[in-house]
Amino acid sequence: MGLKIGIVGATGAVGVEAIKLLEESKLPISELRLFASSRSVGKKIGFLGEELPIAELSFHAFKGLDFVIFSAGSSVSQQFAPIAKESGAIVIDNSSFFRLQPNVPLVVPEVNKEDLKSHKGIIANPNCTAAILSVALWPIHLVATIERVIVSTYQAVSGAGAKAILELETQLRHFVYGKPIVPEVFPEQIAFNVFSHNSPVTENGYNGEENKVMQEIRKIFHYPNLNICATCIRVPVFRAHSESVVIETAKKLDAQQTRSILSKAPGVLVVDDPQNGYFPTPLKASGKKEVLVGRIREDLSHPRGIAFFLSGDQLLKGAAWNAVQILQALL
Amino acid sequence: MGLKIGIVGATGAVGVEAIKLLEESKLPISELRLFASSRSVGKKIGFLGEELPIAELSFHAFKGLDFVIFSAGSSVSQQFAPIAKESGAIVIDNSSFFRLQPNVPLVVPEVNKEDLKSHKGIIANPNCTAAILSVALWPIHLVATIERVIVSTYQAVSGAGAKAILELETQLRHFVYGKPIVPEVFPEQIAFNVFSHNSPVTENGYNGEENKVMQEIRKIFHYPNLNICATCIRVPVFRAHSESVVIETAKKLDAQQTRSILSKAPGVLVVDDPQNGYFPTPLKASGKKEVLVGRIREDLSHPRGIAFFLSGDQLLKGAAWNAVQILQALL
């Protein structure tokens, strides 16, 4: 019969990647149904040699589908994911809407694939920064029990969507042509600048992105008391997020042990050549499914501390690839 | 009579700023003698309405000078700072050459001005990242005793000199014109990328820049056992370094107490408006003598932790302004 899969947000940055990954996946897909907002209706997207039309969402849109991947923002997921579920499809949702709901599993397959067993029709895909981080932390946690995480991020603009990518391009062009730079999408100039992530700061002093990272890692790890402190910063990079990470473990690890653990870990690529100064960068991570980890060293400020630096493609492992991995794990 | 001041490296990024700051300083300067490498000899630089010639360094170059500010790299300082000192001038050296020598004070005036009293003719100006960080840490340390510092940096290219600034500009132009980008000054592409600071990684797993930050903060604070872990990352920003900082203090502070301490601290400007998302950025810090500090909040991962984010102009507080402050303090 073959699989019938729907993609909501098919023209967005994550949707486009999901379609490509499904194409590569060799899954027996008999139907791919694409959805986007009304202004994309009429466009076509290529998939395995066919030109597929884009439809608008409706109450009956999901009929007959086995799986629907949502990447069109929280309000679309809130409204349509329950409808897709009622239609009999399993929903894999990229938005933040369902992530912290107790009856919705939040899954990074390398970490907590088992949680898929308890799903009730909706599975949440984590925040991109959290997903990338979890892949590097989990294998260390299994061996040495992580007691504390301090992470500072270097986040690409594509996390904020296609408009943000265009904004960085426009500002660069204005710089080269000597025209004034006026921020429109982001509240601050992004070219030649870095700024605190533009999600609102909440009561606890942390912004929305930081709270997501902290809360989601705890849920994915089933570790509600994990001590974690995140600082999320936007940088003028098009694609792939980077993170400077310092951890404390219950069991002492040295750099070599950590490198060895990470080099065997699923979804991790150790890129750590101090002699040649070759380490993870967002350019190296762009287009890769793995999270690149390097600068692995002891944190000299703590008897059981380890520091490292990672880069991961937030559109792939941080979104579309993690969703496709969930789909594959469900089969 | 007036002051007779020499500037070595007068055409470099730091030298140019030092000349501007001396011009603004209203110090009674009767002579400003400018030095640079042979290829700058013949050029002139304006100072208080006069066009001053640029001379080459020689054994007798410093005769009659009261102060000489060196910003021409370690090998020039190594060779010529002792000669300037022998000529009777007090040397303020921006290079790393003398910084860790026990008989050379390493001074950030807001922190350890008293150390100037014990100078023996040479005073060292700290690494830019360390200088900026020290101004924010010291007032907190005085009240609550800092026990540990974890810092991840977002460093501008101008820390690597004029060639690095040109490299970022060239790569941006190539991007806009659709030409290939080939790194020349930095080992990796700097446009739309971030990478581990390009100083060599030493035995302990930390690169040269990270070791400087850790060792210099300890010396400036007279705190050889301070626990500190630095991760130094280069970002595609022209000017001003930013730092994501997490500290642990002996005495518990909350965010409001920390904000209050920092708002009264010399050399610090608190830029921390969570409601409007207005925080330090390198663009806001460029051209400012103060270090901008914001995102001040409790580190939820530690009972006595505080997190904040800062931006400071590494050519000013990180170099030229700190040198001029030292000069003023000596008078």
Catalytic annotation on A302? no
Same domain, B300 and B324: no
Same domain, B14 and B84: yes
Same domain, B166 and B274: yes
- Asked if A281 and B195 come within 8 Å (Cβ–Cβ), the reply is yes
Same domain, A227 and A304: yes
From the candidates A128, A141, A197, A232, give the one annotated as an active-site residue.
Answer: A128
Catalytic annotation on B128? yes
Same domain, A194 and A138: yes
Half-sphere exposure of B280 (CA within 13 A, CB side): 29
Same domain, A17 and A48: yes
Partners of A235 on chain B (C-beta within 8 Å) are 154, 194, 235-236
Q: How far apart are CA B241 and CA A274, in angstroms?
A: 24
- Asked if A237 and B236 come within 8 Å (Cβ–Cβ), the reply is yes
| CB count in 10 Å sphere of residue B20 | 16
Partners of A206 on chain B (C-beta within 8 Å) are 297, 300
Choose, out of B167, B168, B171, B195, the residue to mutate when testing the contact with A (most A CBs < 10 Å).
Answer: B195
Q: In this structure, what CATH number is given to the domain that contains residue A258?
A: 3.30.360.10
The residue type found at A309 is: F
- Spell out the residues 6+ positions from residue A256 whose beta carbon is closer than 8 angstroms to its own: none
Same domain, B165 and B303: yes
What per-residue confidence (pLDDT) applies to B167?
A: 96
What is the nearest CA distance from A49 to chain B, expressed in angstroms? 30
Per-residue DSSP letter, B126:
P
Tokens of residue B240, six digits: 């001003």
Q: How far apart are CA B28 and CA B17, in angstroms?
A: 18
The residue of chain B nearest to residue A281, with distances taken between CA atoms, is B195
| CB count in 10 Å sphere of residue B113 | 15
The gap between the terminal CA atoms of chain A, to the nearest Å, is: 14
Closest CA to A34 of A3, A50, A11, A67: A11
Same domain, B179 and B112: no
With both helix axes pointing from N to C terminus, report the angle between A162-176 and B162-177 in degrees, rounded to the nearest 10: 120
Same domain, A143 and A254: yes
Pairing verdict, β A291-298 and A268-270: parallel
Percentage above 70 pLDDT, chain A: 100
pLDDT-derived band at A159 (thresholds 50, 70, 90) equals confident
CA distances from B304 to A211, B146, B193 (A): 19, 10, 34
- Asked if A277 and B149 come within 8 Å (Cβ–Cβ), the reply is no
Q: How far apart are CA A27 and CA B126, in angstroms?
A: 59
Q: In this structure, what CATH number is given to the domain that contains residue B25?
A: 3.40.50.720
What is the nearest CA distance from A285 to chain B, expressed in angstroms? 11
Q: Report the pLDDT averaged over residues A190-215.
A: 97
- Provide the number of structural domains found in chain A: 2
Query: Each residue of A215-247: pLDDT tens digit?
Result: 999 999 999 999 999 999 999 999 999 999 999
Binding-site entries of B for substrate? 155, 234
Please report the residues numbered 261 through 320 in chain A whose beta carbons come closer than 8 angstroms to any beta carbon of chain B.
274-275, 277, 279, 281-283, 294-302, 305, 307, 309
Contact between A257 and A251 (Cβ < 8 Å): no
What per-residue confidence (pLDDT) applies to A158?
A: 87
Partners of B296 on chain A (C-beta within 8 Å) are 205
Q: How far apart are CA B131 and CA B217, in angstroms?
A: 8
Ordered alpha helix ranges (H), chain B: 13-24, 74-86, 109-112, 128-144, 162-177, 208-220, 255-263, 282-285, 321-330
pLDDT-derived band at A160 (thresholds 50, 70, 90) equals confident
Same domain, B144 and B262: yes
Q: Look at the alpha carbons of A235, A237, A241, A243 in this order and tell me if their dihedral is positive or negative.
A: negative
Same domain, A143 and A110: no
Reported residue count of chain A is 331
Structural domain that includes position B65 = 3-125+319-330
A244 touches chain B (CB under 8 A): yes
Collect contacts of A97-106 with beta carbons under 8 A, ≥24 apart: A98/A122, A98/A124, A99/A124, A99/A126, A99/A127, A99/A212, A99/A216, A99/A219, A100/A215, A100/A216, A100/A219, A106/A216, A106/A219, A106/A220
What is the nearest CA distance from A241 to chain B, expressed in angstroms? 10
- Asked if B205 and A231 come within 8 Å (Cβ–Cβ), the reply is no
Element (H, E) at A80: helix A74-86
Helix, strand, coil percent values for chain B (each to nearest 5) = 35, 25, 35
Question: Between the CA atoms of A208, B299, A231 and B197, what dihedral angle is there, to the nearest 10 degrees?
Answer: 180
pLDDT by residue for chain B (331 residues), tens digit each? 799 999 999 999 899 999 999 999 999 999 999 999 999 998 999 999 999 999 999 999 999 999 999 999 999 999 999 999 999 999 999 999 999 999 999 999 999 999 999 999 999 999 999 999 999 999 999 999 999 999 999 999 988 888 899 999 999 999 999 999 999 999 999 999 999 999 999 999 999 999 999 999 999 999 999 999 999 999 999 999 999 999 999 999 999 999 999 999 999 999 999 999 999 999 999 999 999 999 999 999 999 999 999 999 999 999 999 999 999 999 9
Respond yes or no on whether ipTM tops 0.95: yes
Q: Determine if residue A78 is labeled as part of a ligand binding site.
A: no
Ordered alpha helix ranges (H), A145-276: 162-176, 208-220, 255-263
Half-sphere exposure of B209 (CA within 13 A, CB side): 19
Number of helices (H), then strands (E), in chain A: 9, 15
Residues A154-163 as b or e (16 or more Cβ within 10 Å = b): bbbbbbbeee
Same domain, A227 and A104: no
